Amino acid sequence: MTADHFRDSYQRTVSDLPWYHRDPEPDLVALFDEVLPATGAAILDLGAGPAVHSIELAARGHHVVAIDGIDKARDMALELAAARGVTLDYRVGDALRDSPEGPFDAIFDRGFLHTLDGHERALWRDTVISRLRPGGHAMVKCFDVQPARDFGPHGLSARDILDILGAPEPGGLDLDLLRHTRFAGHPPESHAAWTILARKL
């Protein structure tokens, strides 16, 4: 999906964005509870958009860096963060090339990976691996390729996800969870998704 598509989308109000949901997704919050300390983790949010989950993490006392390529996404996120009473380190840039080096305790990706072209997926993996500390987690949610939709990105199959993560080897990613889910606030027949948890070895 092109940068122009996203820039055009951000001409709407935040509540009209198709990927915006006011509340953090319950399955992702469950991962926060499962793998993160109560407070103080360093977290990178790739392709953060309105950054609903970054704001939740910051409200819990974590140190979050959010990054997206669209200025308007940052503006929306900072307004939402101010309404929640938290500050957010939100940077505008290429999430795969301009993200700070870290190391981070966790990397979060809701709805970014599935927007990437096939040739960018290896760069996504390299970005995640290079910025995670050993033992750190990648928490990801993306569209499933099935059922087929007539809108948005095509999504990923389970095989695609395994190929993207690569073989579990020292310094690589080991898959801890691959669960068939959906994006909250939408019907499963149109918003089937994968929730993914991987750990850096």
The three-state DSSP-derived secondary structure of 79-139 is HHHHHHCCCCEEEECCCCCCCCCCCEEEEEEECCHHHCCHHHHHHHHHHHHHHEEEEEEEE
What is the mean predicted confidence (pLDDT) over 118-126?
A: 95
Place of tokens 């109000």: 13
> 143 is written with which tokens?
């569209």
User: What's the rounded Cα separation, in Å, for the pair 138 and 125?
Assistant: 10
Q: What's the pLDDT at 149? A: 72
What is the mean predicted confidence (pLDDT) over 118-122?
A: 93
Task: Output 18 or 130, whichever has higher pLDDT.
Answer: 130
* Structure confidence at residue 24 as a pLDDT band (50, 70, 90): very high
Q: With contact defined as beta carbons under 8 Å apart, do 195 and 183 qualify?
A: no
Q: What's the pLDDT at 191? A: 82
